[in-house]
Chain A
Amino acid sequence: MAKIGVFICHCGENVGAKVDCTKLAAAMGEHPGVAVSVEYKYFCSDPGQESVKRAIRENNLTGVVVAACSPRMHEATFRKACAEAGLNPYLCEIANIREQCSWVHTDNDKATEKAMDITRSMVEKVKRNNKLQPIEVPVTRRALVIGGGIAGIQAALDIANAGQEVVLVEREQSLGGHMAQLSETFPTLDCSQCIMTPRMVEAAQHPKIRLLTYAEIESVDGYIGNFSVRVRMKSRYVDVNKCTGCGDCITKCPAKKISSEFDCGLGKRTAIYTPFAQSVPNIPVIDKENCIYFKNGKCKICAKTCQCDAINFDMPDTFVDLEIGAIVVATGFQVQNNTMYGEYGYGKYPDVINGLQFERLASASGPTAGKIQRPSDGAEPQTVVFIQCAGSRDPSKGVRYCSKICCMYTAKHAMLYAHKVHSGKTHIFYMDIRAAGKGYDEFSRRAIEEDEAAYVRGRVSKVWQENGKLMVRGVDTLLGRPVEIAADMVVLATAIIAQPDAKEFAKTIGIGYDEYGFYNEAHLKLRPVESSTAGVFLAGACQSPKDIPDSVAQASATASKVLALFSKDMLEREPVVATNNEATCAGCWGCVLACPYNAIEQKDIVDRSGRVIKRVASVNPGLCQGCGTCVTFCRSNSLDLAGFTEKQIFAEVMGL
């Protein structure tokens, strides 16, 4: 005979103000099989959990239903409490009467009626719950970090410094990411390369870090603690083991006028190249698209120049297979293409540039060696207009969010410009100055007070060319009048967007993403560095726009999560897996076709003399992820899914 305990949580006012908990408790108390039905203000609190435990012990309960918030919130809490009271934790279920009832309905009576249905349905389910034991799986103590920007490097170093193995995969030919492109960083104005390159070298030389550059993730299979990852090593056409990085091939390459991606189109590079002088590893690649040999079949000057015989034009892509226990995704961001603002003339006027291009102009390693020269004629601009929120906070361009870093980097640009061009004038069009962060507001005040950046609150409507100047027309909303400025250069504080292939990549590794392509965390406040997939963690701007300190902090947080995972020999997994009734299984293998994880194997049933009498399906609980697709596929109803059995679900429906 079932003895179910029903615990109805008011959640303060959250449930209590909408659902009549007393009525609910009384109704549940009369439901067959319910031994205890009580209400309380906060069951998740310590005394609340104690009262649940006491009720289990005193009444020898055979099942528990907590009618409260979403199971995604506190299922683990209450299952743990049940286990502490000696009840199998899988005999506890949550009836979601907050997120899916009290918070979304206005009518108290209807909300109460719905809460009753939801709770009753769960009581019916719990009656048919089985005692389950968590599945133990071994942990491979090797982390994969995807992305070699500052977040990826930080995560890799933190994990490696704790003594665990790391594979760091970067799809470009060098570590560094966007941070390597920056000139100086706010709010301290220290040189980005000076703080970045030592970390890059440290990561590359670390005995616990295996660095795979010019490499992309081909596939990810498996689950927490036991991922199988295949990495495609894109062909560099340069043998990594032979190349010494002398750079002779780069000097001799005749294809010299290729627009440099690293310099955002402001500089030129050769067809065999390293993106920047401090590249790690310092091994060039041949850009097949622009290489004269690949285009015309003649040249090979690099191969003739190379004294190490490192150039191989026939080099194929190769694959590396890895066994991985945890994955840190640190794939970063892109800047939005500003040509979508036709009125600002980006792409039409060479002197309208974006923030990242300004970084390259101001960088000592950039195409102008740090001199501020406008792209069209190399002249020193005397008036520069900065336009903030060029793309961000603009629903019409599909970017409703704030890109977070632009206010600060525009203030920094104004400062860098003022320090380099003493006679220069700066105008900054802004919507709001968002300078929340340690030393940030002081920094933006410094741009205004010491470096005389003229902030104009308002938007720019048009930029056009007239008499060799860029005319900027906007509005000063504080003075309530239109403004027109004749500028020599215009810098757009471009929106940060997700990597163009972010969604595709999310599907490869099996994590969620939001409408913009940024990766979803498991909980915005309480689990901000975990993805919804166990064992996959998120660091840096792939999750949302972030500045360097935030990215580094998040990366270190992922490292601590990975290390916690690696601190155990065995992992406990939810026992929600499919099971097969071998007596009724007909061996039709429909389930094998349905299973996304190849978790269903064929098993021979033998008689005493070892003769095979029947061949049936057998589920490998280590591989099974518990989706239940096979169960629905099964023609003979032999398969069932623990935790979501046919009986349980039919009972839930009947309870409604």
Chain B
Amino acid sequence: MSETFEPKIIAFVCTYCTYAGADLAGTSRLKYAPNVRIIRLPCTGRISPMFILKALQKGADGVLISGCHPGDCHFTHGNYHARRRWMVFRALLDFIGIPPERVKYSWISAAEGVKFAEFINSVTEDIRTLGPFEQYSQLIEQTQAPASL
């Protein structure tokens, strides 16, 4: 029996809602899959599509983005900008050959530790089903592009 594939997932979250929700999952001692690495940003509005592409290029099998619920943004409407950006970016992802299912978008508030844990588990399972994301690295090998800064 082959070893189960452990996907590598990078999460970009805002510090006010989802990061706090992740902390709450911790203080509540909820257990979830250890595949996600969190990068903290002030607001989902700060998340550039370039970060997502960089994460996939670096070898992430999936990326997730999460912030405050619509209307709850600490910065009043950074998350709306993020949402609009995502709507456009999703179409672009598809166009450049990255399956949009590998990038997940969600709203998780500071009170939703349980939702955070469940979300991480479900994303990990989904990405595991999709399998390793190799297209990007193959592409890079072909073009010999430097994979560093």
B149–A654 contact, CB under 8 A? Answer: yes
Residues of chain A contacted by B51 (CB below 8 angstroms): 649-650, 653
Interface string of A602-633 (1 = CB under 8 A from B): 00000000000000000000000111110111
Q: Among the listed B37, B60, B74, B85, which residue makes an inter-chain contact with A118, where contact means beta carbons less than 8 Å apart?
A: B37
Contacts of B48 in A (CB 8 A): 631-632, 646
CA distance A650 to B72 in the complex (A): 27
Q: Which A residues touch B72, using CB under 8 A?
A: 507, 512
What are the interface flags for B41-77 relative to A under an 8 Å C-beta threshold, 1 for contact and 0 otherwise? 1110111101100110010100000000001101111
Q: Is the CB of A629 within 8 A of B43?
A: yes
A104 touches B43 (CB 8 A): no
Flag the segment in B19-27, B94-102, B130-138 that touches A.
B19-27
**B90 interfacial contact with A, CB 8 Å:** no
Closest to A124 in B: B149
Residues of B contacting A99 in the complex (Cβ-Cβ under 8 angstroms): 22-23, 25-27
Known: A510-B76, A653-B58. A576 touches B39 (CB 8 A): no
Listed residue (B30, B37, B50, B117) with the most chain A CB atoms within 10 angstroms of its CB: B37
Given A72-B20, A594-B45, A100-B26 contact (CB < 8 Å)? yes
Tell me which of B20, B38, B45 has the highest count of chain A C-beta atoms within 10 A of its own C-beta. Answer: B45
A98 within 8 A of B: yes
Contacts of A626 in B (CB 8 A): 42
Whether a CB of chain A sits under 8 angstroms from the CB of B104 is no
Complex: A632 Cα to B75 Cα, angstroms = 15
A532 adjacent to B74 (CB under 8 Å): yes
**A351 close to chain B: CB less than 8 A:** no
Measured in the bound complex, the distance between the Cα atoms of B24 and A70 in whole Å is: 10
Q: Hey, which chain A residues are within 8 Å of B45, CB to CB? A: 594, 627-629, 632
Encode contact with B along A635-656: 1 for CB under 8 Å, 0 otherwise.
0000001011011011111101
Q: Which of A107, A625, A632, A650 contacts B54 (CB 8 A)?
A: A650
Q: Does A173 contact B (CB under 8 A)?
A: no
With contact pairs A625-B75, A629-B78 given, residues A100 and B23 touching in the complex (Cβ less than 8 Å): yes
Q: Does the CB pair B58–A627 fall under 8 Å?
A: no
Chain A residue nearest in CB terms to B22: A100
Are A654 and B39 in contact (CB-based, < 8 A)?
no
Most buried by A among B10, B22, B46: B46
A39 on interface, CB distance cutoff 8 Å: no
Q: Tell whether, in the assembled complex, residue B43 and residue A507 are in contact, meaning their CB atoms are under 8 Å apart.
A: no
Stretch at the interface among A50-58, A109-117, A467-475: A109-117
Closest A residue to B24 using CB positions: A99
The reply to whether B37 and A628 form a contact with Cβ atoms under 8 Å apart is no
Nearest A-chain residue to B54, judged by Cβ: A653
A104 touches B42 (CB 8 A): no
What are the residues of chain B within 8 A of A532 when measuring CB–CB?
16, 74, 110
Do A632 and B85 have beta carbons less than 8 Å apart?
yes
- Bound state CA distance, A554 and B85, in angstroms? 42
Residues 568 to 609 of chain A near chain B (Cβ within 8 Å): 576, 594, 596-597
Q: 1/0 per position for B1-42, CB-CB distance to A under 8 A? A: 000000010100001100110110111011110100111111
Given contacts A99-B22, A627-B46, contact A596 B39 (CB under 8 A): no
* B93 is an interface residue with CB less than 8 A from chain A: no
Number of residues of chain B lying within 8 A (CB) of chain A: 48
A631 contacts B23, C-beta separation under 8 Å = no
With both beta carbons as reference points, the residue of chain A lying nearest to B29 in the complex is identified as A103
Asked whether B142 is an interface residue with its Cβ less than 8 Å from the other chain, the reply is no
B37 and A117 contacting across the interface, CB-CB below 8 Å: yes
Which of B50, B54, B78 has the most A CB atoms < 10 Å from its CB? B78
Interface residues of A in 493-519 (CB under 8 A from B): 507, 510, 512, 514-515
Residue of B nearest to A625 (CB): B75
- Chain A residues contacting B60 (CB-CB under 8 Å) are 656
**Does A370 sit at the interface, judged by CB under 8 A?**
no
Interface check A520, CB cutoff 8 A: yes
Q: Give every chain A residue within 8 A of B148 (Cβ-Cβ).
A: 654
Complex CA distance for A236 and B27, rounded to whole angstroms: 49
User: CA separation between A123 and B50, bound complex, in Å?
Assistant: 21
Given known A-B contacts A627-B43, A628-B46, A641-B42, A103 and B74 have beta carbons under 8 A apart: no
**Chain B residues within 8 Å of A656, by CB:** 8, 10, 37, 39, 55, 58, 60
Give the residue among A70, A107, A520, A647 with the most B Cβ atoms within 10 A.
Answer: A70
Q: Are A110 and B34 in contact (CB under 8 A)?
A: yes
Q: How far is the CA of A111 from the CA of B31 in the complex (A)?
A: 12
Contact B42 A650 (CB under 8 A): no
B131 to chain A, nearest CB (A): 20
Tell me which residues across on chain B come within 8 A of A649, comparing CB atoms: 39, 41, 51
Contact with A along B84-119 (1 / 0, CB 8 A): 010000000000000000000000011100000100
User: Does A3 sit at the interface, judged by CB under 8 A?
Assistant: no
User: If the complex has contacts A100-B38, A121-B37, A507-B72, are A650 and B149 also in contact, measured as CB distance less than 8 A?
Assistant: yes
A254 to chain B, nearest CB (A): 45
A447 and B95 alpha carbons, distance in the complex (Å): 74
Query: Which of these, A111, A113, A114, A633, contacts B81 with CB under 8 Å?
Result: A633
CB distance from B122 to the nearest CB of A (A): 15
B37 touches A596 (CB 8 A): no
Chain A neighbourhood of B50, CB < 8 A: 646, 650
Could you pull out 5 A-B pairs where Cβ atoms are within 8 angstroms? A105-B32, A110-B34, A532-B110, A646-B48, A650-B54
With A72-B19, A99-B27 given, name 19 new contacts (CB 8 A): A72-B23, A99-B22, A101-B34, A104-B117, A110-B34, A111-B34, A114-B37, A510-B74, A512-B16, A627-B43, A627-B46, A628-B43, A628-B45, A629-B75, A632-B85, A644-B41, A653-B51, A656-B8, A656-B37
| Residue ranges of A at the interface with B (Cβ–Cβ < 8 Å) | 70-72, 96, 98-101, 103-107, 110-111, 113-114, 117-118, 121, 507, 510, 512, 514-515, 520, 532-533, 576, 594, 596-597, 625-629, 631-633, 641, 643-644, 646-647, 649-654, 656
- For the complex of A and B, 8 pairs with smallest distance between CB atoms: A99-B26, A628-B46, A629-B45, A627-B75, A627-B43, A103-B26, A110-B34, A99-B23
